[in-house]
Chains A and B, each alone.
Chain A
Amino acid sequence: MTVQSDVYVIILITILLGIGIILLSKKLKKTDPLKKPTGILVPVLWAIDIVHRNVVNNVGEKTADILTPYILVLWVYIFFANTISLFGLSSPTANLSVTLLLAFLTWLLIQITELKYQGLGGYMHGFLEPLAVMLPMNIVGKFSIMISMSVRLFGNILCGGIMMQLVYGATQALSNAIASVLGAKGGVFNFIGPIIAPVLHAYFDLFAGFIQTLVFVTLTMVLIGNDIPEDVRNGIA
């Protein structure tokens, strides 16, 4: 049995994030809630507040208390996994198993919300809307959310990795050609790569990683919020 090299990166990320979160929560428990936060807690509390307000805007006050921890986990995990390729490791999100699991969790939450607010009868009747003939379409449509969300994240991150490999290959070939013109024998150090690669790394790893995290999280919130009735979202009912 062979183990994919991504598995080690996934375990490493889980351990790092676990240690970080345990340390943060210990620090948070020690602090006095009535005093001003200091040090590392300032940006953490600021980020949590922004995410919580964003969740409240989309799903309403009542559901937000349950949903905010999940959204925070998605933010931290996906963004960290997307940008770990800056350190020369392969991103776990370039592996379909990881993104499929994340999309499956979101899909499960959507189904639970639908069942909660429409009831079993309403949920089953949703398959026959607007006509009974649409049954196969509706069944495919239910599962297409999972597939499209997982493949979107996977495809974007994987293609970023492939692009960077192509760039490094091209710059290696170019520096070999320049060196052979100057009279060097055999392969040389890829001296053009470090000049143009940082800009592309900033785009493909940082920017695309951030945008894809934002899209995944926003889609999760919007799709769950769509299934909650307007009255519950506005806190009337």
Chain B
Amino acid sequence: MDINKGLIAIGAGLAVMAGMMTGLGEGMAAAHACDAIGKNPEAESKIRSNMILGIALSETVAIYGLLVSILLMFVYPNL
């Protein structure tokens, strides 16, 4: 039983690694949005809403990883 718990924990850790590259991508998106605001500050509100849209869409991957790991930790052991 104990080794099963350990394997579940490893699986949950691996699932949450989906957030690794997402963090990199979101950082790049925010950096480019800052560049764009620096180039034309009057378009700030448009750039901001587009940046949030793009970041939110790419964040979906990390959220799915998080969901899988939450399911693994709290739902799967009780099946």
Contact = CB atoms under 8 A, between A and B. Distances in A.
B56 A151 contact: no
A148 B53 contact: no
A218 B47 CA distance: 12
Contacts of A214: 52
Contacts of A57: 45-46, 49
A218 B53 contact: yes
Interface in B44-79: 45-46, 48-50, 52-53, 56, 59-60, 63-64, 66-67, 70
A219 B53 contact: yes
A208 interface: no
Given A151-B63, A219-B52, A219-B56, 17 more contacts: A54-B45, A57-B45, A144-B60, A148-B56, A148-B60, A148-B63, A151-B64, A151-B67, A152-B59, A155-B63, A155-B70, A159-B66, A215-B52, A215-B56, A218-B53, A219-B53, A221-B49
Interface of A: 54, 57-58, 144, 148, 151-152, 155, 158-159, 214-215, 218-219, 221-222
